[in-house]
Amino acid sequence: MIAKDLADAIKDGTMLPGEDVPTVGDIAHARGVSVGTARRAFAQLREDGLIQVSRGCRGIVSPRQEEASDAA
């Protein structure tokens, strides 16, 4: 549910490419779930190519596929 909600926000443009994604801790607190549950949602979003996460940095919304191909 968390991953789907965030994916929907990314796909409908509510969250824009390059925008910071809430932290795992913020999501866990806001949704009343464990940090592990929030991490699994992040992992799914990363696998789907919707967010980029680097160790020690906040996650960001990935560029949309059509934008990425325009830049190439």
Residue ranges covered by each domain of the chain:
2-64
Q: What is the pLDDT of residue 69?
A: 41
| Dihedral-angle region of residue 69 (phi above 0 means left; psi in -120 to 50 means alpha; beta otherwise) | alpha
Q: Is the per-residue pLDDT at 19 higher than 80?
A: yes
pLDDT bin (cut points 50, 70, 90) of residue 31 is: very high
pLDDT bin (cut points 50, 70, 90) of residue 56 is: confident
pTM over 0.85: no
pLDDT bin (cut points 50, 70, 90) of residue 13 is: very high
pLDDT bin (cut points 50, 70, 90) of residue 72 is: very low
The class that CATH gives domain 2-64 is mainly alpha
Burial grade of 3 (CB within 10 A; 0-12, 13-18, 19 or more): buried
